[in-house]
């Protein structure tokens, strides 16, 4: 939090005036609420920023279908499946927002995907699609790595974890808004966690702790 020498000065001046101090407390509390709201406005920053400390997660993610999901929107790719889903297999869907929202990272959100030319780093379903926009959390980690609790990452940093309870996966993407989801489809969280995300057997010994 930024220091506010102006406020400290006012506090000293109002020392003998209890009514003024209550007023000041009110102002300080109100500005704290505004700051808390600002804190939650994290932006998408792209996977290159996560790789820095999470290389093994990155490498294992790169082998999943999630990492390659933008390619599916190109003409001719998975032509047969597209035909079966009544989509024109020769059409270029890479600029179609109805498809992009599930095939890139942070479509239309601050820092997120805009177009292939403008934001080539935001292709595919990256870390931030599942864990939330990472700007504030990453800044926290850069400055004070390891000294925050997991709760801090979530409340202050905006980091989130998909779970069967919060239904992030089914609400965002794995639902019938996808032309390829058949009716009666059941999303198996643990199965998808194993095959569609990244390694989960890491204990962070690979993190470059010594760099900071
Ligand atoms: C400066 C290093 C650093 C960067 C950059 C970084 N992380 Fe982390 N991250 C860590 C460390 C260290 C931990 C383990 C913290 C612990 O166990 O206390 C962690 C933990 C996590 C966790 C698990 C939290 C939990 O609740 O178990 C997730 C998810 C995560 N990071 C996602 C990301 C994403 C997404 C990005 C990019 C936007 C990113 N990280 C960038 C260092 C970093
Ligand atoms: C609501 C999110 C969502 C939308 C919208 C969406 N997709 Fe997908 N798409 C998915 C998911 C999730 C999968 C993976 C399905 C699975 O493995 O269960 C997928 C898979 C695919 C596949 C691979 C299918 C296969 O069987 O090989 C193609 C191709 C594809 N999408 C193209 C598109 C196109 C083109 C559009 C727009 C017309 C689109 N998607 C819209 C979420 C979406
Ligand atoms: C498709 C969704 C998805 C993507 C993409 C994804 N994760 Fe995860 N991540 C998960 C899930 C699900 C968990 C486990 C949650 C649980 O077990 O409660 C997890 C857990 C983690 C953890 C906690 C320790 C562990 O391994 O279980 C870290 C750290 C993490 N992810 C970092 C990353 C980083 C870095 C990236 C990008 C390279 C990334 N994740 C991409 C879904 C995803």
| Per-residue pLDDT tens digits of the chain, which is 212 residues long | 333 333 333 333 334 555 555 544 455 445 444 444 455 589 999 999 999 888 889 999 999 999 999 999 999 999 999 999 999 999 999 999 999 999 999 999 999 999 999 999 999 999 999 999 999 988 888 776 567 777 888 888 888 999 999 999 999 999 999 999 988 899 999 999 999 999 998 765 445 544 44
Place of tokens 């001046």: 13
The ligand with the least distance to the CA atom of 198 is: 3
- Residue 168 · residue 143 · CB < 8 Å: no
- Residue 45 · residue 105 · CB < 8 Å: no
**Ligand 3 and 45: CB distance under 6 A:** no
- Residue 113 · residue 105 · CB < 8 Å: yes
CA–CA distances in Å: residue 11 to residues 1, 17, 32: 18, 10, 16
Place of tokens 């294992």: 60
Q: Where does ligand 1 bind, in terms of residues with CB under 6 Å?
A: 45, 49-50, 52-54, 127-128, 131, 134, 138, 141-142, 145-146, 150, 153, 159, 161, 204, 207
> Which residues have C-beta within 8 Å of that of residue 197, sequence separation ≥ 6?
61, 64, 66, 130
Structure tokens at 198: 């990244």
In this prediction, residue 17 carries a pLDDT of 52
Residue 81: CA atoms inside 13 Å, Cβ hemisphere, count? 11
Q: How many CB atoms lie within 10 A of CB 82?
A: 21
Rounded Cα gap, residues 28 and 42, in angstroms: 23
Rounded Cα gap, residues 61 and 55, in angstroms: 10
**Ligand 3 and 130: CB distance under 6 A:** yes
């Amino acid at each position: 939090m930024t220091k506010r020498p102006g406020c400290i000065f006012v506090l000293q001046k109002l020392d003998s005036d209890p009514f003024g101090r209550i007023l000041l407390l009110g102002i300080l509390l109100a500005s704290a609420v505004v700051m808390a709201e600002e804190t939650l406005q994290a932006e998408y920053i792209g996977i290159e920023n996560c790789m820095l400390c999470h290389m093994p997660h990155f490498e294992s993610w790169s082998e999943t279908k999630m990492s390659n999901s933008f390619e599916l929107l190109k003409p001719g790719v998975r032509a047969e499946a597209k035909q079966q889903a009544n989509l024109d297999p020769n059409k270029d869907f890479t600029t179609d927002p109805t498809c992009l929202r599930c095939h890139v990272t942070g479509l239309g959100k601050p820092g997120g995907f805009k177009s292939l030319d403008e934001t080539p780093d935001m292709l595919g379903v990256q870390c931030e699609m599942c864990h939330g926009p990472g700007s504030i959390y990453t800044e926290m980690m850069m400055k004070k790595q390891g000294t925050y609790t997991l709760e801090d990452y979530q409340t202050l940093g905006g980091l989130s974890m998909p779970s069967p309870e919060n239904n992030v996966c089914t609400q965002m993407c794995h639902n019938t808004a996808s032309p390829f989801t058949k009716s009666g489809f059941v999303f198996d969280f643990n199965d998808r966690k194993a095959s569609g995300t990244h390694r989960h057997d890491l204990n962070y010994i690979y993190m470059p702790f010594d760099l900071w």
